[in-house]
Structure 1
Amino acid sequence: MSLIRNVGTIGGLTAISRVFGFARDMLLARVLGAGLVADAFQLAFTLPNTFRRLFAEGAFSVAFVPMYSRALHGSDGKPGSEEAAEKFADDVLAVFVWVLFGFSALAMVFMPGIVWLLAREYGNVAGKFELSVLLSRMTFPYLFFISLVAMLSGLLNARSRFGPGAFAPVLLNIFLISGILLGREMRGGSTDDTVVGYCLAGAVSLSGVAQFLYLWWESRRAGVRLKVTMPKLTPEVRRMGALILPATFGAGIYQISQLVDTFFATSLPQGSLSLLKLADRLNQMPLGIVGIALGTAILPMLSRHIHTGDAKEAQRLQTNAFEIATLLTLPAAVALAVCAPAFCTAFFVGGKFTAADGAIMANIVVALVAGLPAYVVVKILNPGFFAREDTRTPVWTALTSLIFNVAVNLYVVNRYGIVGLAAATAASASLNCLLLYAMLHKRGWFRFTAKLGGRIARQLVATAAMGVALWWAMPLMADRYAGSVFDRVWSLSALVGLGMVVFFAVAWISGALDEDLVKLLKRRRPKRNKSDDEILEVE
């Protein structure tokens, strides 16, 4: 099983989810705009999602997957077994279920306090604080079910079955699209959007149930037979618990920054939080498809190489992931930055979402995507620590970056508003990336080679050429971006097509594209080759 094949599976299914998510947000913008109910729902949706990414998909997964993988496959010459892996998973589940239930229940009880901490300014707008609390209580059960989904995804990932976990978010977006359409129908000709918010919040929790049932079914198909037993703090469970707390910071700098951003965004004029979240959707497209796919695929594979003492293959795996990440995210970041006005206008302006909203959103996108390469590379660097069960080092890098983010926000938010906030997030992610690499390099766990540096330099040349071409072409179709559906589609298609042709042509001429990488990307089933040049096959 190769890195390319795993990333292709995860990235392809994640791309489907992102397309559905994009359609969801396009509908959401048109139906709710950037007003009171939109802000209240965005806060209610942010809370369980942030805790899910921070604890379940972040801290829990990076601690659980390597330990489960070791129990299943063995390490240090000791054989693994299905029985050992099953016992470990059952012991973890027995404790995890009650922790989740207790945390979710307490959060729902104290939701007014949580909302006040994050959005105290909402109390200055009639009804906004109360609606935010109610919608947050309606969405929070999602955390319980989606956290169990994260555990089941980890079990399947350790068995190199990446598809179900990558497909599950599609169900979330299908439910949310249905909630928006149902809410719009129930609202009718009324100007009160509250019913749309209720439908959306209910759809969030129902989607959690659907994703859990789907992953449970897929786990049974894979031969995993989990059962809930009486909770016992076994040595392995205690060890995993000790890893989770620091991993919360190490794996979750982006999520922690999201909470910080939410706090500052809610202090700005109404609609700011909605505009930030919608802008982040454009940023999340390449981040989700590339970053999450690479990070998910690399952790169990890197763990196996490290546990078997194969440092050379570990270096190769991380080098490949780094090159793939920059190859895909550098042009994506520049294209999004240059074409932000066109994308925001064509995709979102309409209905209750005004042209003025689109102009502000475009500036936010430019600021956010400045940190896009760093967001993705962090997903590659963090597993270098987690696979070695070192969750402490990322704590300090993440904490340093978080403090930096807060300090910068205190300066820029009052001066530059929501755009300054987005720029601060990008800067803090870049700092975290640099610190993580410095520590990996210092310990000899990953080295940035001259060959990799040369390849990235050529990628930058191709990216610059593409950026110039898009900057030249953008004004030529300015009156089409807000036109009919046909005008919007063909004008954006022309921009995307031009960007791709220029980038890949210059990349090919300059040598930015590794011929071996291209060959393996084309192969349906890559074959193992132990040559130093054929570095993508890792098993």
Structure 2
Amino acid sequence: MSHIARSSLLIAFFFGIDKVLGLARQMLVARQFGLSYDIDVFNVANNIPDLLSSLISGGALGVALLPVLSEYMQKNGRGSAWDLFSRILNLAFMATAALALVIALFAPSIVNIIAPGFPAEQKALATELMRLDLVAILIFSISGLVMAGLQSNQHFLLPALAPGLYNIGQIFGLLILVPAAGSRLGPLTLPGFGFGIHGLVYGVILGALLHLAIQVPGLARYHFHWAPAINLRHPGVRQVL
């Protein structure tokens, strides 16, 4: 079996696992919160950070980076490709941090626009959760691009595992951080920390950390060296943007 065929099967397998974990997460959300106001507040709080993540980290920018990085890898070698990767990574993190700061400062106004019918208490909670969600987005501004970096090296295993671990972080939050009382999972008795809807956001942050952490060994394997530079005039940076 060719390398491409093996990689395709691997991606398909872990894509299926991720979908199963995503379904389990949705079932746990329904069990823990049902149709409560808490989950409505969470969804409102997650709207803008999720959009930011889609645009900057694992979404549009990651898609634009991959072919350019692969081209640099083939023509100029791994060192040159990692140098370009560092510049894009630094730029993406700084842009995400700047936008996250703006969102954090104007979170109350954003919530008012998205959910004008919420009572004051729910608006305050949505504002708090939105600011917490931005921590995960900062992590994804790195992790989403690391996926492209590893894929440009024809390494697909760890990027394929990462989305499932993101779901596992959220499942951990739903099973352990959200409930006030312990719950049973088969023969196991799980503790409950009683964070409520905050526990779901903590699970999102944990999932983002796992999404990044599982890919770090791949960076080490391919001798990634971070360069503290941006340089918008770099031809590769301009090509990606």
TM-score (norm 2): 0.85
Query: In the aligned structure 2, how far is the partner of 1:2 from the partner of 1:121?
Result: 54
Check whether the contact 1:179–1:196 (CA below 8 A) recurs between aligned residues: no
Structure whose residues are more often helix by fraction: 1
| Structure 1 position 197, deviation (Å) | 0.4
Say whether 1:133 aligns with 2:127.
Answer: yes
Query: In the aligned structure 2, how far is the partner of 1:23 from the partner of 1:49?
Result: 20
Aligned length: 229
- Report the CA distance shift for 1:57/1:179 in structure 2 as closer, same or farther (over 3 A): same
What is aligned with 2:100? Answer: 104
Aligned pairs (5 A) from 1:18-167: 18-74=19-75, 80-122=76-118, 125-167=119-161
Amino acid at match of 1:212: L
What is aligned with 1:208? Answer: 208
In the TM superposition, what whole-angstrom CA distance separates every residue of 1:49-100 from its partner, at most 9, and x where no partner exists? 33222332222112211111110113xxxxx312221221122223233222
Amino acid at match of 2:164: V
Query: In the aligned structure 2, how far is the partner of 1:117 from the partner of 1:169?
Result: 31
What is aligned with 1:225? Answer: 224
Say whether 1:186 aligns with 2:180.
Answer: yes
Check whether the contact 2:58–2:144 (CA below 8 A) recurs between aligned residues: yes
Q: Secondary structure at 1:16's aligned position in 2? A: helix
Bigger mean CA offset, 132-141 vs 84-93: 84-93
Q: Secondary structure at 2:155's aligned position in 1? A: coil
| Structure 1 position 24, deviation (Å) | 1.2
What is aligned with 1:283? Answer: none
In the TM superposition, what whole-angstrom CA distance separates every residue of 1:478-513 from its partner, at most 9, and x where no partner exists? xxxxxxxxxxxxxxxxxxxxxxxxxxxxxxxxxxxx
Q: Which 5+ residue runs of structure 2 have no aligned equivalent?
A: 183-193
Q: Secondary structure at 1:9's aligned position in 2? A: helix
Based on CA coordinates, which of the two structures has the bigger radius of gyration? Answer: 1
Check whether the contact 1:139–1:205 (CA below 8 A) recurs between aligned residues: yes
Q: Which 5+ residue runs of structure 1 have no aligned equivalent?
A: 75-79, 189-193, 244-539
Query: In the aligned structure 2, how far is the partner of 1:182 from the partner of 1:133?
Result: 24
Query: In the aligned structure 1, how far is the partner of 2:66 from the partner of 2:178?
Result: 41
Q: Which structure ranks higher in relative contact order (CA pairs < 8 Å, sequence separation ≥ 6)?
A: 2
Check whether the contact 2:88–2:237 (CA below 8 A) recurs between aligned residues: no
- Report the CA distance shift for 1:240/1:104 in structure 2 as closer, same or farther (over 3 A): farther
Query: In the aligned structure 2, how far is the partner of 1:163 from the partner of 1:94?
Result: 24
What is aligned with 2:12? Answer: 11
| Structure 1 position 23, deviation (Å) | 0.8
Check whether the contact 1:13–1:166 (CA below 8 A) recurs between aligned residues: yes
Query: In the aligned structure 2, how far is the partner of 1:210 from the partner of 1:150?
Result: 12
Q: Secondary structure at 2:142's aligned position in 1? A: helix
| Structure 1 position 108, deviation (Å) | 1.6
Check whether the contact 1:186–1:195 (CA below 8 A) recurs between aligned residues: yes
What is aligned with 2:196? Answer: 196
- Report the CA distance shift for 1:45/1:37 in structure 2 as closer, same or farther (over 3 A): same
Query: In the aligned structure 2, how far is the partner of 1:145 from the partner of 1:161?
Result: 21
Query: In the aligned structure 1, how far is the partner of 2:20 from the partner of 2:208?
Result: 19
Aligned pairs (5 A) from 1:407-426: none
Structure 1 residue runs of 4 or more that deviate by more than 4 Å after TM superposition: 1-4
Check whether the contact 1:94–1:229 (CA below 8 A) recurs between aligned residues: yes
Check whether the contact 1:93–1:228 (CA below 8 A) recurs between aligned residues: no
Query: In the aligned structure 2, how far is the partner of 1:228 from the partner of 1:205?
Result: 26
| Structure 1 position 2, deviation (Å) | 6.0
In the TM superposition, what whole-angstrom CA distance separates every residue of 1:435-465 from its partner, at most 9, and x where no partner exists? xxxxxxxxxxxxxxxxxxxxxxxxxxxxxxx
Query: In the aligned structure 2, how far is the partner of 1:59 from the partner of 1:103?
Result: 16
Amino acid at match of 2:198: Y
- Report the CA distance shift for 1:157/1:27 in structure 2 as closer, same or farther (over 3 A): same
Aligned pairs (5 A) from 1:399-414: none
Check whether the contact 2:56–2:92 (CA below 8 A) recurs between aligned residues: no
Query: In the aligned structure 1, how far is the partner of 2:196 from the partner of 2:113?
Result: 25
Query: In the aligned structure 1, how far is the partner of 2:72 from the partner of 2:7?
Result: 22
Q: Secondary structure at 2:116's aligned position in 1? A: helix
Calculate the aligned-residue CA RMSD, in Å: 2.2
Identity of aligned residues (%): 24
- Report the CA distance shift for 1:226/1:34 in structure 2 as closer, same or farther (over 3 A): farther
Query: In the aligned structure 1, how far is the partner of 2:218 from the partner of 2:90?
Result: 20
| Structure 1 position 184, deviation (Å) | 4.6
| Structure 1 position 199, deviation (Å) | 0.7
Check whether the contact 1:164–1:218 (CA below 8 A) recurs between aligned residues: yes
What is aligned with 2:185? Answer: none
Q: Secondary structure at 2:180's aligned position in 1? A: helix
What is aligned with 2:235? Answer: 236
Check whether the contact 1:138–1:201 (CA below 8 A) recurs between aligned residues: yes
Query: In the aligned structure 2, how far is the partner of 1:20 from the partner of 1:72?
Result: 34
Q: 2:170 aligns with which of 170, 176, 196?
A: 176
Amino acid at match of 2:30: A
- Report the CA distance shift for 1:217/1:113 in structure 2 as closer, same or farther (over 3 A): farther
| Structure 1 position 133, deviation (Å) | 1.2
Check whether the contact 1:95–1:231 (CA below 8 A) recurs between aligned residues: yes
| Structure 1 position 40, deviation (Å) | 1.0
Query: In the aligned structure 2, how far is the partner of 1:225 from the partner of 1:169?
Result: 22
Query: In the aligned structure 2, how far is the partner of 1:228 from the partner of 1:44?
Result: 34
Query: In the aligned structure 2, how far is the partner of 1:16 from the partner of 1:67?
Result: 29
Aligned pairs (5 A) from 1:297-336: none
Check whether the contact 1:176–1:203 (CA below 8 A) recurs between aligned residues: yes
